[in-house]
Structure 1
Amino acid sequence: MTETETGLGERLSNRFEDFGRLRYRFRQNPMSLVGLGIILGLIFLAILAPWVAPYPNDAAYQGEAAVHFDQRFESPSLSHPFGTDQAGRDIFSRVLFGTRLSLQIGLVVLAVAVSIGVTVGLVGGYVGGAVGMFLMRVTDVFLSVPPLVLALGVSVALEPSLTNSMLAIAAVWWPWYARLTYGEVLSVKKETFVEASRGIGASTPRTIFREILPNVLAPITVKISLDMGYAILVASALGFLGLGAQPPTPEWGTMVSQGRNYLPAQWWFSTFPGLAIFLTVLGFNFLGDGLRDMFDVEVQ
């Protein structure tokens, strides 16, 4: 066996050992496994919603929703496990398609927020000086406003829609990633391997994205897992207030808002979409706690 093959084997062995340790830490928290199971179940249902939903035409995910006024406000039964709404639409089918929609909202919001926030934090932390100070003061301006209030303000300024609500939430979320990344970069950029990268003449972008970024991903990953549920919760809050997805889109917050007008007689109308929100946020919180224990990091 050559020296190169020996070195490659040792690196692979070390990586497997590291993975085993991380997996062991994750499994030490039983609630993290519960959270992982919940999230995997939600993803499974979101993917298979068109085939699992008994009445996919009631979901209005694409085009207009079917209406069945002769079946309006039927209580939960075998034919309609979650009952029907004011238009006779099957709530179970709408909640299933709402799962797909809510996960999409969370992914889009965090993709935008993480892209902006991490870039700002990396540049501000690495360059420092006046540039870093300016970027952090801009970040502080956004952080000084309560997140939900800022999201409401952006949503009111724009036309109420699903797309605009996602933009509003992303505008709320990116400063947290900027601040977290900035703090991590200030610590990592003093390490020897960063100094070595600069010493051999590596360009600034290469040093930032090849040397620093991989070493600050752990806390960012943990925060993403925790924020996924909160982003869905804020989107549901905007939908509840009429500033997010508009009827007949099967968004959970919008469904809860419509159902509150018929409480307590038709309790199932709001209850099941509300439980879906609760279960999703709980699952991501449990998963985030498990990842935090696994990486042994603290997030802001």
Structure 2
Amino acid sequence: MSNSETVTADDPGVLERRREDLNRVVYRFKQNPMSILGLCIIFGFVFIAIFAPYIAPYPNDAGYQNQPAVHFDQKFESPSAEHLFGTDQAGRDIFSRVLFGTRLSLRIGVVVLAAAVSIGVPVGLVAGYLGGGVGMALMRITDVFLSVPPLVLALAVSVALEPNLTNVMLAIAAVWWPWYARLTYGEVLSVKEETYVEASRGIGATSTRTIFREILPNVLAPITVKMSLDMGYAILVAASLGFLGLGAQPPTPEWGTMVSQGRDYMPAQWWYSTFPGLAIFLIVLGFNFLGDGLRDMFDVEVQ
């Protein structure tokens, strides 16, 4: 095939088809009311995370600007106009703490997925494209991590390290990257023999350019869908570790830690655990709805 006959992902015809595909998938997304609801929920939590210092009625109760407050004369007040979600054992406003907890939860999800994708996707790309002994070695290492149940591995890493927010994110990232490596590996195997990849190699493009300019853009859809589904799950795992005392430590306003502290006062002070638990439920639900919508939109299947 001559250079004049080759077709790459940069050609106008290919770009036009991609624009048409994008319009089609956006239309599919708009047709799914649950995905719209999920997107609205996530936008709501992002808004809260950004403007928490201005929304929270008692930001110091959440340790804003390193000024944790205690009000023992107001402890365990039930939900009211003054304290919408009631107060905890130190008299701190639970509503303010839940709002600031949104920042922590979203930060955990973003950092964990960024780390997992940064490790897993390159591993999958290299293993799938090169194949042979290199690909087999990388996939066997991945299989070793996949053979351990995710929460068990996260617990092991958390126990080995000092319980804090940073180590929680490291523990969860260690669990997550192999899934992206396996997903990317399978997708690369399915596209690396396509015409545009062969054309890229035929005109003398380097392996790096072929991988990142031709293959990667065409495997991003399932990776994006998996990220949207995993965001809620990563937040849930972080809350689980906090509930077990291996995550963010008090007085950090982390939802799982707040639920764990509140269980000691159930059922009399039911609001202590209930409202952080509802926040976890809503954010996980939002990301699941969004992920399902993206899956339908791109018409892909992910594990």
CA distance in 2, matches of 1:156, 1:98: 23
Asked if the contact 1:67–1:87 (Cα under 8 Å) also holds between the matched residues in 2, the reply is yes
- State the 1:10 CA deviation: 8.2
CA distance in 2, matches of 1:216, 1:16: 16
- State the 1:143 CA deviation: 0.5
Amino acid across the alignment from 2:81: L
CA distance in 2, matches of 1:153, 1:159: 12
Q: Could you list the runs of 4 or more consecutive aligned residues of structure 1 that deviate by over 6 angstroms after TM superposition?
A: 8-13
- State the 1:62 CA deviation: 3.8
- State the 1:109 CA deviation: 0.3
- State the 1:112 CA deviation: 0.2
CA distance in 2, matches of 1:81, 1:294: 38
CA distance in 1, matches of 2:127, 2:217: 17
CA 1:190–1:145 in 2, change beyond 3 Å: closer, same or farther? same
Asked if the contact 1:61–1:250 (Cα under 8 Å) also holds between the matched residues in 2, the reply is no
CA distance in 1, matches of 2:105, 2:67: 19
* The one of 149, 152, 164 aligned to 1:149: 152
Amino acid across the alignment from 1:255: M
- Partner SS, residue 106 of structure 1: helix
- State the 1:145 CA deviation: 0.5
CA 1:274–1:115 in 2, change beyond 3 Å: closer, same or farther? same
Match of 2:41 in 1: 38
Amino acid across the alignment from 1:110: L
Asked if the contact 1:61–1:249 (Cα under 8 Å) also holds between the matched residues in 2, the reply is no
CA 1:61–1:163 in 2, change beyond 3 Å: closer, same or farther? farther
Q: 1:56 and 2:33 equivalent? A: no
Match of 1:296 in 2: 299
Match of 1:237 in 2: 240
Match of 1:5 in 2: none
CA distance in 2, matches of 1:14, 1:199: 22
- Partner SS, residue 245 of structure 1: coil
Q: 1:247 and 2:253 equivalent? A: no
Match of 1:194 in 2: 197
* The one of 76, 82, 89 aligned to 1:73: 76
CA 1:11–1:129 in 2, change beyond 3 Å: closer, same or farther? closer
Match of 1:3 in 2: none
Q: Deviations over 1:133-189 (max 9, x none)?
A: 011011111000000000000000001000000000000000000000000001110
Amino acid across the alignment from 1:63: N
CA 1:12–1:157 in 2, change beyond 3 Å: closer, same or farther? closer
Match of 2:129 in 1: 126
Amino acid across the alignment from 1:242: G
CA 1:147–1:12 in 2, change beyond 3 Å: closer, same or farther? closer
CA distance in 1, matches of 2:176, 2:63: 29
Amino acid across the alignment from 1:43: V
Size of the alignment, in residue pairs? 293
* The one of 91, 113, 119 aligned to 1:88: 91
- State the 1:21 CA deviation: 1.6
Asked if the contact 1:185–1:216 (Cα under 8 Å) also holds between the matched residues in 2, the reply is yes
> Aligned runs of 1:86-235 on 2, under 5 Å?
86-235=89-238
TM-score (norm 1): 0.95
CA distance in 1, matches of 2:216, 2:14: 21
Gaps of 5+ in 2: 1-10
CA 1:14–1:136 in 2, change beyond 3 Å: closer, same or farther? closer
Q: Deviations over 1:84-112 (max 9, x none)?
A: 00000000000000001100100000000
Q: Deviations over 1:103-142 (max 9, x none)?
A: 0100000000011000100000001001100110111110
- State the 1:250 CA deviation: 0.4
Asked if the contact 1:72–1:86 (Cα under 8 Å) also holds between the matched residues in 2, the reply is yes
- State the 1:17 CA deviation: 3.9
Match of 2:26 in 1: 23
Q: 1:47 and 2:50 equivalent? A: yes
Q: Which moved more, 1:204-213 or 1:9-18?
A: 9-18
* The one of 271, 279, 303 aligned to 1:268: 271
- Partner SS, residue 74 of structure 1: coil
CA distance in 2, matches of 1:193, 1:216: 14
- State the 1:200 CA deviation: 1.1
CA distance in 2, matches of 1:210, 1:39: 31
Q: Which moved more, 1:191-200 or 1:272-281?
A: 191-200
CA distance in 1, matches of 2:108, 2:87: 25
Gaps of 5+ in 1: 1-7
Amino acid across the alignment from 2:241: L
Computed over aligned residues only, the root mean square deviation of the Cα atoms, in angstroms, reads 1.5
